[in-house]
Amino acid sequence: MNPFDTIPIALRALAANKLRSSLTMLGIIIGVGAVIALMAAGQGAQKGITDRIRGLGSNLLFIRPGQPEDNKENNPVGGQVFTLVSTDADAINNPDRFPYVDSVAAQVFFEAPITSGGQSMQVNFTGVTPDYQFTRDHYVASGRFITDDDVTRKGLVAVLGPNVAENLFGDVDPIGRTARLTVGAFRIYFSFNFLIVGVMERRGATATGDEDDLVIIPLPTMQARIPYIRNPKGLSNVHQITVKISSSDKFGQAKEEIAALLRDRHGVTKDDFTIRSQEDLVATVSEVSQTLTILLGSIAGISLVVGGIGIMNIMLVSVTERTREIGIRKALGAKRRDILAQFMVEAITVTMLGGLTGILVGVMAARLADGQHVFGRDLQTAVTPLSIMIAFSVSAVIGLFFGIYPAYNASRLNPIEALRHE
């Protein structure tokens, strides 16, 4: 018998029991759909975080203070040990020693309420220098940014993120208006009125938070007005130094040479700081996200195995019900391989139809979920050809694997005993 002749026979057998065939395919549909949808969620999460890291700027190194465990309990400010100071940033910004450094921006962060015109909100304040704009590729949309004059005179000026400007002032232009900052430590509170001089361009969420919710003020102003961010030696602590490198090819050299400079300045042999590039962050996130995606896909794959067991069960029942049919076919000259092929084709057909339908269901579910607001976050999904190929291939293998035993049993039936079967 021509192998292709078994296909219409298998399809007619499946059509004769539409409900049973549909329920059998349902397990495969759910399994394939779940694998694609969950892997899309994992891939989407990875893409979202990677985009946020890329959104910080380009060719950046992030230098942060180390946190030795034995010093944490002795530090009163948030349990963090400060080992970086603003003069470290000045030393790195040396074109003669580091010609590949385009710009350097020291930063200090803290969270506090800001008030204006009866409106108040909790925001993230960031103390920066004028180089911050270029270093982070983040510019003002209206007004101006922090200037060298603001830094020199420690001016009480502020640049608002677009969300802050909208929440505090609505449709009114905030430039030229004032806003009040209140910050406290050890039951001592400081309040300052800041003149708003600019509004940043809208950028959205990045790896460090929502850039549109920032309030940017001059770094020396923050260091002068808020004394608890100074260290015991009187130097001004910084939370991060961001270094913009001319080319990503220089990351390795920059890390080594900047680390040597900081060790020399701090008088230590072991790093009391960490230097990481955007590529380091992306690699870490990708590794974690890939593990998560594999885990999600594996969990969803369990339903595929359950669907395969359902196929085996139905095919065994089908062999029992069609014992006389098998006997007749064998009496008419059908060989064992013909019977084996017939039932294998039926199992694979059920699996393939279920797999194709499952792909459509999974892709549609992923597309519908994309952009939905879930648990306070916007869900992002990304369907990739790889996830579709994996889901479909696994379903095909499962159909083949779980269809072998029933087909083998059918091919081994004795034609005389089969004809006698009631």
Domain ranges in the chain are 3-53+283-420, 67-271
Q: Which residues share a beta bridge with 61? A: 243, 277
What pLDDT sits at residue 175? 92
Better-predicted residue by pLDDT, 295 or 356: 356
Tokens found for residue 404 = 């072998």
Residue 333 phi/psi, 5-degree rounding, is 110, 0
Cβ atoms of 25 and 363 within 8 Å: the answer is no
57-85 pLDDT, tens digit per residue, is 568 888 988 754 444 443 433 445 568 88
Question: Per-residue confidence at 195, pLDDT binned at 50, 70, 90?
Answer: very high
Residue with tokens 């992002």, as numbered in its chain: 380
Instruction: Select from 154, 177, 153 the least CA-distant residue to 165.
Output: 177
* Mean pLDDT taken over the chain: 78
Which of 40-54, 170-184, 328-342 is most confident? 170-184
Q: At what angle do helices 385-411 and 336-369 cross, to 10 degrees?
A: 150
Question: Distance (Å, rounded) from C-alpha 97 to C-alpha 5?
Answer: 78
- Judged against a pLDDT cut of 70, whether residue 2 lies above it is answered with no
Q: What is the pTM of this model?
A: 0.60
SS3 letters across the chain: CCHHHHHHHHHHHHHCCHHHHHHHHHHHHHHHHHHHHHHHHHHHHHHHHHHHHHCCCCCEEEEEECCCHHHHCCCCCCCCCCCCEHHHHHHHCCCCCCCCEEEEEEEEEEEEEEEECCEEEEEEEEEECCCHHHHHCCCEEEECCCCHHHHHCCCCEEEECHHHHHHHHCCCCCCCCEEEEEEEECCEEEEEEEEEEEEECCCCEECCEEHHHEEEEEHHHHHHHCHHHECCCCCEECCEEEEEECCHHHHHHHHHHHHHHHHHHHCCCCCCEEEEEHHHHHHHHHHHHHHHHHHHHHHHHHHHHHHHHHHHHHHHHHHHHCHHHHHHHHHCCCCHHHHHHHHHHHHHHHHHHHHHHHHHHHHHHHHHHCCCEECCEECCCCCCHHHHHHHHHHHHHHHHHHHHHHHHHHHCCCHHHHHHCC
Q: Give the mean model confidence (pLDDT) for residues 328-351.
A: 76
Residue 178 phi/psi, 5-degree rounding, is -115, 155
198-238 pLDDT, tens digit per residue, is 999 887 665 555 678 889 999 888 877 765 566 656 567 88
- Judged against a pLDDT cut of 60, whether residue 306 lies above it is answered with yes
What pLDDT sits at residue 232? 59
- Judged against a pLDDT cut of 80, whether residue 97 lies above it is answered with yes
Question: Distance (Å, rounded) from C-alpha 283 to C-alpha 353?
Answer: 38
Cβ atoms of 162 and 201 within 8 Å: the answer is yes
Instruction: Select from 284, 286, 260, 283 the least CA-distant residue to 273.
Output: 260
Kindly report the number of other CB atoms within 10 A of residue 271's CB atom: 13
Question: Distance (Å, rounded) from C-alpha 145 to C-alpha 140?
Answer: 6
Tokens found for residue 186 = 């050890």
Tokens found for residue 97 = 């020693």
Taken in order 65, 66, 71, 77, is the CA torsion positive or negative? Answer: positive
133-150 pLDDT, tens digit per residue, is 888 888 899 999 999 999
**How distant, in Å, are the alpha carbons of 27, 105, 244 from that of 219?**
60, 10, 18
Residues 6+ apart with CB under 8 A from 193: 156, 178, 179, 180
Residue 114 phi/psi, 5-degree rounding, is -125, 140
Question: Distance (Å, rounded) from C-alpha 128 to C-alpha 146?
Answer: 8
Residues 6+ apart with CB under 8 A from 315: 343, 346, 347, 402, 403, 406, 407
Residue with tokens 């190194």, as numbered in its chain: 61
